Amino acid sequence: MECRLPFSLVVFCLVILSSTVRSELVISSVEKWVDLHSHIVRVVSFLKVENQGPYDVSEFVLAFPDAQAKNLATMLVIYLEEGKIIYSEFPINSTKPKSKQSNMTFYPVTLPKKLEKGKTAGLDVYVVLTNLLKPLPKEITQAESQLLVYTDNIYYTSPYHIRNQSIVFRLPGRIESYSEYSEMRLVESELRYGPFEEQPPFSYSPVVVHFENNNSFAVASNFVQEIEISHWGNVQVTEQYTIIHGGAHLKNGFSRIDYQANPSMSGASSFRTLVARLPPMSHSVYYRDEIGNISTSHLRGDSQGTQLEMELRFPMFGGWKISFSIGYSLPLHDFLFESDAGNNVLNITFGSSIEEIVVENQIVRVVLPQGSKDISVKSQFPTKKSQELKYSHLDIVGRPVVVLEKDNVVPEHKRYFQVYIYYKFNNIFLLGKAMMLILGIFLLFLMCILYMHADLALSKTSSWEEETEGRK
Amino acid sequence: MGATSVASPAPLNSAPSSFPSLKALKFTTKQQELLIRVSALALIYVLAFVVRLFSVLRYESMIHEFDPYFNYRTTLFLTKNGFSEFWNWFDSESWYPLGRIIGGTLYPGLMVTAALIHRILHFFSFAVHIREVCVLTAPFFASNTTLVAYFFGKEIWDSGAGLVAAALIAICPGYISRSVAGSYDNEGVAIFALLLTFYLFVKAVNTGSLAWSLASAFGYFYMVSAWGGYVFIINLVPLYVLVLLVTGRYSMRLYVAYNCMYVVGMLLAMQIRFVGFQHVQSGEHMAAMGVFFLLQVFYFLDWVKYILNDIKLFHSFLRITLTCAITVGVLALSIGTASGYISPWTGRFYSLLDPTYAKDHIPIIASVSEHQPTAWSSFMFDFHILLFLFPAGLYFCFKRLSDATIFVVMYGLTSMYFAGVMVRLILVAAPAMCLVSSIAVSATVKNLSSLVRAKSKSPQGSGKPLSGSKAAAKASADQSLPFQKNGAIALLLGALYLLCRYAIHCTWVTSEAYSSPSIVLAARGHGGGRVIFDDYREAYYWLRQNTPPDAKVMSWWDYGYQITAMGNRTVIVDNNTWNNTHIATVGRAMSSYEHEAYEIMLSLDVNYVLVVFGGVTGYSSDDINKFLWMVRIGGGVFPVIKEPDYLVNGEFRVDKGAAPKMLNCLMYKLCYYRFGEMTTEYGKPPGYDRVRGVEIGNKDIKLEYLEEAFTTSNWIVRIYKVKPPKNRW
């Protein structure tokens, strides 16, 4: 068994082991599944943790190399005791050791229940990583398939001793090449390494998988969602996307005749459509960009939701960019509730409605009705929050806008997390605009009446008029 | 619509029956007439707006055609950066590497109007996007034009004629063609300004009031700021004054109206940078100045005549003064022209006076389809019954000659001539046609209805101001009673039928012919459904998103404005055809062999070449069909390019029998690159061009210096990337 652990890391591990991590914990077995089907890497690790020390343990530390931690979009930990789910989803904060040489980031997990000595518990760690699949070669022609490279540690990166472990890569198709190890098996599209026995903490040995992946590599470099609340009963959602094909760049230009003649062979890595899942009861859907409406789209609705199939203006090849916006209206009563204190509670879903897309930077702007007060936001993951004003139709003081910003958003955010916005709003303000319009039209009529009755002539008789009268 | 408004003066007693609450108010006849008139006018106002919205309903709220995209882009700039930035804007994105001084080379009226409307709406806190304002500017001004037409008609004839004029112009296809929603072009506001200026001037002549003529000067200023067609005003008005002088209708009112309008209008017009000092320096404006001086001489002579009180003495004085004045005038003109102070007439002006001029001398003017002489069918298409009503209206005008009717007759006749010379000037003729026709309709219907009404209550109905012709009609009606009444009814029904046909025709023309944005093409599919070709926007959007921001795109000038506005990329030439040499250079590149063209493209720093090709879809206004104009324009400056090289026995062909130079020039190669592998129609060989209806002659096209970068889904737009120069070692 080869072990290419840098010396500094070893030293560092010793430091760690002696300080934060209780070495009494041992991982008796771990199986890591790496799903490489799309451009989002999803890793599930099934751990069995055994407490061999003399004390009860309440904290477990997860470790990730910095390269992964930087691109870690979301993490979910499920704690199992004797096969039953005890608790899932607990708050995780990352800690970074002060030592500069470290290339690890630690995530201490406070266990919901102390692990008693001698006992074993299960931990399922679900991690979503982005930006880790690198195209190789970096440039391909239209006829070629897209090949991606994924690099990982063949051993489970952990500050604990691991007795038995294995890693499985689930691949979408053909494998170009992969690291050779003695314990490995390739069955159809599953590449399995292991089992490896008795590995010390922070064992490291690289594994590289080079494989074909033609799934749409859609990355939204910028996504701005504006949710406008009207207490007349409508929510207007506008989503602006700038989408980049993050895969291998296109070489030698785009040939339409090849693309048309044999769509399956040519431009396999490109994508032409994106599917957005809109909430149920969506209506007045539009799909347009800076230069006008895009007429190629289909809308299907069922009780689960509305599905908007957008055909882009042009097929997206590697490195190409496109921006567009979609918008839809929703009934307000599905999103707005009243809390006990007389507050309005707005419950919004964070994340993009487009399926299987990585959002590098998401900005959500919630436009509350004019006159809203005491605004507070509660979200279940860290976001940058700020407030501004927006002036829309017939606004005098402006509508308060809650701005939430978050980097690296994946579809998982949408499923599990929600954002609550509390605010106070007096319904009497609803009448304000109607009254304004009525008053405006009334003033217009009043001015007309005044004008009709006013005599603005300087003198009653004009010499010219007399002359013309005389002529007639 | 025409029919209801025509009938408005007639049903004086029956109107309030549908308003029970109004019955209690007991309107006087005058009030009822006012109510009907105002509501008819309001309906016409709405109608004029609504009928122009076909394109928004059928497609979307978008800017149409070519020039409007430039206007839209500049308006966007104006709203973003403010007026002073706009006025001093040097645009480096067009005419690379020359650039264009936008503020000094455009008529800012339209953009300022739209930006002002936008600002006003925002002031009243209507958060409207500037695009919607731009799209709806033309219909809005068309609605306003109907109001002006009403007042104009009222001024020259009576309020009935005014109403008919408003109704006719609201749906006149000749006007609609340039003012549908989305056609955000200068003409949209200019026709309003033109008619307003004319109306105010006629009003000033009729009243002799300084206020009205000042107002007309401001109207003229607006017109100058909006459209180059102001030259028509500055020549028609002096011509009209001259005619009044000659026909002995000179009056103090005319003197005041013209002098004030000319002097103030001229000074105001000089504030527009694009026009500048042309009013005193350009040959096209000299007629107005000549008439101005003539009026002074006339007034002076009048005064001398009044002082002298001696006919003989006055005649000799007249002779001397006239000789002197004419000599001085001719001398000044010739010296001015010879010294270059007064510029000669421009090519466009010449081509108006001599329709064959452009064809022989300026291919770039002749190449534009809307500068072609008008076909008879398009007169019929755009004017319909107005063509027949126009002479009838002229007859009525001559029958009741006044200063105002003389004006409208002159306006009608001159604009008819210009409409015959150039297709696009049908637009200028449309208001005149409507006004003159409205006189015909109104006078006829009025006469006929008075005949019909005279039967039922013959003692009444003489309270109308119109007395002369009506009394005569009544007198004749008294002579042969039963026959005339029926005849009048039949004629009324006939008039109603004609007006209905007009309304139907206008609606049909608007919906079928004039509401297509031309940037999105629609065709009928095999199943009868509508197929949309959105290739232009596909290509422009691709350029916008996937080329470097400083990329330079070479294309024929037609697409320049669209590329800069939608693609946001620098172009070599665009629709502002101010530099013929530059356009000729592009024409030369397109018609040269690839390696020669490459040299030209490198010298122009071109990164991408864009061509429009209709061979797959059968879209006929593509670059191959425009190619001969490129050759002609290129050959006009660079004699290396010779038209006969591209023709076979004087015939333009792209198939096997085509000229060898044609088969290997850049344009041919770019359009047909790899087209030979494509089967376009069932049962036809691959490489069958559906526009030309032939199999192309050169199927094995290899590109050495360019590579295909993007082709739209229906092949309408093809973009090629110019490869960087190869290393020499």
Mutate to test the interface with A, among B57, B132, B545, B706 (most CBs of A within 10 A): B545
For residue B558, the 8-state DSSP code is G
Contact B710 A467 (CB under 8 A): no
A446 Cα to chain B: minimum distance (Å): 18
Put simply, the answer to whether B126 touches A321 (Cβ < 8 Å) is no
Closest CA in chain B for residue A467 = B207
B677 touches chain A (CB under 8 A): yes
Q: Give the closest-approach CA distance of B182 to chain A in angstroms.
A: 12
Q: Which residues pair with A210 in a beta bridge?
A: A149, A177
Mean pLDDT throughout A325-334?
91
Instruction: Find tokens 């999103």 and name the residue.
Output: A335
Among candidates B208, B532, B538 on the partner chain, residue whose Cβ is nearest the Cβ of A464 = B208
CA distance B459 to A44: 103
Q: How far is B546 from chain A (nearest CA, A)?
A: 6
Closest to A71 measured CA to CA, from A50, A94, A37, A91: A94
Number of A/B CB contacts below 8 angstroms equals: 84
- The string of DSSP letters for B189-257 reads HHHHHHHHHHHHHHHHHHH--HHHHHHHHHHHHHHHHH-TTHHHHHHHHHHHHHHHHHTT---HHHHHH
Residue B615 sits at φ, ψ, to 5 deg, of -60, -25
Q: Which of A236, A245, A257 to mutate to test the interface with B (most CBs of B within 10 A)?
A: A257
Q: What is the rounded CA–CA span in Å between residue A115 and residue B137?
A: 74
- At A98 the three-state DSSP class reads coil
Give A181 to chain B, closest Cα distance, Å. 43
Q: How many CA atoms lie within 13 A of A190 on its CB side?
A: 9
Contact criterion met (CB below 8 Å) for A306 and A278: yes
What average pLDDT does this structure show over A374-402? Answer: 85
**Which of B127, B206, B715 has the CB atom closest to A393's CB atom?**
B127
The number of beta carbons lying within 10 Å of the beta carbon of residue B310 is 11
Confidence of residue B497 (pLDDT cuts 50, 70, 90): very high
Q: How far apart are CA A338 and CA A334, in angstroms?
A: 12
Q: What is the pLDDT of residue A94?
A: 64
- Out of B127, B545, B713, name the one closest to residue A322 (CB): B545
CA distance B196 to B215: 9
CA distance B187 to B192: 9
In this prediction, residue B24 carries a pLDDT of: 60
Contact B707 A253 (CB under 8 A): yes
Q: Residues B47-56: pLDDT tens digits? A: 999 999 998 9
Going by C-alpha positions, the residue among B36, B29, B31 that lies closest to residue B13 is: B29
Q: Report the phi/psi class of residue B461: left, alpha or beta, with left for phi > 0 and alpha for psi in -120 to 50.
A: left
B367 touches chain A (CB under 8 A): no
Q: Confirm whether A21-212 and A218-425 share one CATH topology.
A: yes
A1-13 average pLDDT score:
45
Contact between chains at B542 and A291 (C-beta distance less than 8 A):
no
Q: What is the mean pLDDT of chain B?
A: 87
B661 touches chain A (CB under 8 A): no
pLDDT at B238: 95
Contact B545 A292 (CB under 8 A): no
Q: What is the tens place of the pLDDT at every residue in B151-188?
A: 999 999 999 999 999 999 999 999 999 899 999 999 98
> Are B542 and A292 a contacting pair at CB < 8 A?
no
How distant is the Cα of A294 from the closest Cα of chain B, in angstroms?
A: 8
Q: Confidence class of residue B13 from pLDDT cuts 50, 70 and 90?
A: very low
Task: Locate the domains of chain B by residue range.
Answer: 190-343, 531-722
For residue B62, list chain A residues with Cβ-Cβ distance below 8 A.
292-293
pLDDT at A92: 63
Alpha-carbon radius of gyration of chain A: 31
pLDDT in tens, B369-403: 888 888 899 999 999 899 999 999 999 999 999 99
The sign of the CA dihedral B117, B119, B122, B124 is: negative
The per-residue pLDDT for range B670-680, each reduced to its tens digit, is 999 999 888 88
CATH H-level superfamily of A21-212? tricorn interacting facor f3 domain (2.60.40.1730)
Q: Do B708 and A253 touch (CB under 8 A)?
A: yes
What's the average model confidence in pLDDT over B524-529?
Answer: 75
Cα B182 to Cα B65: distance, rounded to the nearest angstrom: 9
Q: What are phi and psi of A19, to 5 degrees?
A: -105, -75
Q: Residues of A with CB below 8 A from B249's CB?
A: none
Inspect the interface and report whether the beta carbons of B532 and A295 lie closer than 8 Å: yes
B213 touches chain A (CB under 8 A): no
**Strand pairing partners for A404?**
A364, A385
Between chains, do A313 and B537 touch, taking CB under 8 Å as contact? Answer: yes
Cα-based distances in Å from A471 to A3, A213, A230, A466, B196: 116, 92, 65, 9, 25
Smallest CA-to-CA distance from B161 within B491, B500, B441 is with: B441
Tokens representing B26 are 């007991």
Phi and psi for B427 in degrees, rounded to 5? -55, -45
Give me the residue from B127, B208, B712 closest to A391, CB to CB.
B127
Single pTM value for the model: 0.88
Of all residues in chain A, what percent carry a pLDDT higher than 90? 26
Is there a contact between B230 and B246 (Cβ–Cβ < 8 Å)?
A: no
* Of residues B125, B708, B709, nearest to A393 (C-beta): B125
Structure tokens at B85: 């930035």
Residues 521-580 (B) with a CB less than 8 A from some CB of A:
532, 534, 537-538, 540-542, 544-546, 566
Are the beta carbons of A293 and B60 separated by less than 8 Å?
Answer: yes
Record: contact B534-A393, CB cut-off 8 A: no
What is the secondary structure of A17-49 as a DSSP string?
A: HHHTS-TTEEEEEEEEEEE-SSSSEEEEEEEEE
For residue B482, the model assigns a pLDDT of 66
Between chains, do B713 and A294 touch, taking CB under 8 Å as contact?
no
Assigned CATH for A218-425: 2.60.40.1730
B708 touches chain A (CB under 8 A): yes
Please name the residues between 242 and 301 in chain B that touch chain A, using a CB distance below 8 Å: 252-253
Question: Distance of CA A138 to CAs A270, A271, B517, B573, Å?
Answer: 15, 18, 41, 36
Chain A residue with minimum CA distance to B716: A256
| Token output for B61 | 């709220």
Q: How far apart are CA A290 and CA A279, in angstroms?
A: 25
pLDDT band at residue A78 using 50, 70 and 90 as cut-offs: confident
CB-based burial, B174-202: b 16+ in 10 Å, e otherwise: bbbbbbbbbbbbbbbbbbbbbbbbbbbbb
> Mean pLDDT highest for which of A1-5, A390-394, B532-536?
B532-536
C-alpha distance from B712 to closest chain A C-alpha (Å): 7
Phi/psi at A64 (nearest 5 deg)? -135, 140
Please count the helices (runs of H) and the strands (runs of E) in chain A.
6, 31
User: In A, what residues contact B, Cβ < 8 A?
Assistant: 252-257, 261, 289-296, 313-314, 320-323, 391-396, 440, 462, 464-465, 467-468
The pLDDT confidence band at residue A263, using thresholds 50, 70 and 90, is confident
How far does chain B reach from its first CA to its final CA, in angstroms?
A: 77
What residues form DSSP beta bridges with A61? A108
- pLDDT band of residue B458 (cuts 50, 70, 90) is very low
The whole-angstrom separation of Cα B621 and Cα B614 is 7
Top mean-pLDDT range of A104-118, A299-313, B469-483, B532-546: B532-546
Residue B708 C-alpha, separation from nearest chain A C-alpha, in angstroms: 6
> With an 8 Å Cβ cutoff, are A464 and B253 in contact?
yes
User: How do strand B552-554 and strand B608-612 relate by DSSP bridges?
Assistant: parallel
Torsion of CA B618, B623, B627, B630, to 10 degrees: 160
- The second-level CATH assignment, the architecture, of B531-722 is 3-Layer(aba) Sandwich (3.40)
Shortest CA gap A114–chain B (Å): 55
Best of A256, A297, A396, A465 to mutate (most B CBs within 10 Å, chain B):
A256
In sequence order, what are the residues at sequence separation of 6 or more whose Cβ sits closer than 8 angstroms to the Cβ of residue B187? B178, B179, B227, B229, B424, B427
Chain A, nearest residue to B676 by Cα: A257
pLDDT tens column, A32-75: 999 998 889 999 999 999 888 888 888 888 888 888 888 888 88
Our CA-based measurement puts residue A258 at a distance from the nearest CA of chain B, in whole angstroms, of: 10
Query: In Å, how far is B336's CA from the nearest CA of chain A?
Result: 39
Which tokens belong to A424? 């106070």
pLDDT of B430 > 60? The answer is yes
Residue of chain B nearest A250, judged by CA positions: B709
Contact criterion met (CB below 8 Å) for A122 and A30: no
Provide the pLDDT confidence category of residue B201 given band limits of 50, 70 and 90: very high
How far apart, in whole angstroms, are the C-alpha atoms of residue A36 and residue A13? 30
Choose among B541, B678, B710: nearest Cβ to A289. B541
Q: Which of B540, B707, B713 sits opposite A252 (nearest CB)?
A: B707
Q: Where do the structural domains in chain A lie, given as residue ranges? A: 21-212, 218-425
What is the rounded end-to-end Cα distance, in angstroms, of chain A? 118
CB-based contact B488:B454 (threshold 8 Å): no
Contact flag A293-B207 (C-beta cutoff 8 Å):
no
Helices vs. strands in chain B: H and E counts, helices first: 33, 11
